[in-house]
Amino acid sequence: MPPMPYLTPIALLVLSNVFMTFAWYGHLKFGSKPLWIVVLVSWGIAFFEYCLAVPANRIGHQVYSAAELKTMQEVITLLVFAVFSVTILGERLTMNHAVGFALIAGGAWFIFRGPLTAPLF
């Protein structure tokens, strides 16, 4: 087990999401490039995302549930995407975005809060 089992998966998920965001949205800066080229480049970038995400989940599952790992990944994705969309794509975040992100953060709080009742399944 890594020396910091609670932090290592978070760090790996942040890094993997940086690669994922560039793979999925970076090509939007290059709208004139043929689609087949941006698909191949995106796949190449996504390879590194997988090289980080898979170990993050493997290591993380030692201390977090799968639902907690997925929730972390989604929250990290939104944070990385928000920074990327503003700094790289030059887009603005609006109040609608802030409210939507806050609702997702509220959902994450419930996931990490612990069970409210008996399991559903």
Tokens of 107: 């959902």
Q: What one-letter code names the amino acid at 14?
A: V
Domain locations in the chain as residue ranges = 8-113
Q: Do residues 26 and 45 touch, judged by C-beta distance below 8 A?
A: yes
Give backbone dihedrals phi and psi of 49, rounded to 5 degrees, phi first: -60, -45
- CA angle 14–20–26, rounded 5-degree value: 120
* Res. 52: pLDDT tops 90: yes
Give backbone dihedrals phi and psi of 32, rounded to 5 degrees, phi first: -85, -10
How many percent of the chain have pLDDT more than 70? Answer: 91
Q: Which residue in 78, 74, 87, 64 sits closest to 9, CA to CA?
A: 64
Tokens of 31: 């709208």
pLDDT of residue 19: 96
Entry pTM: 0.84
Which of the four pLDDT bands, split at 50, 70 and 90, describes residue 89?
very high
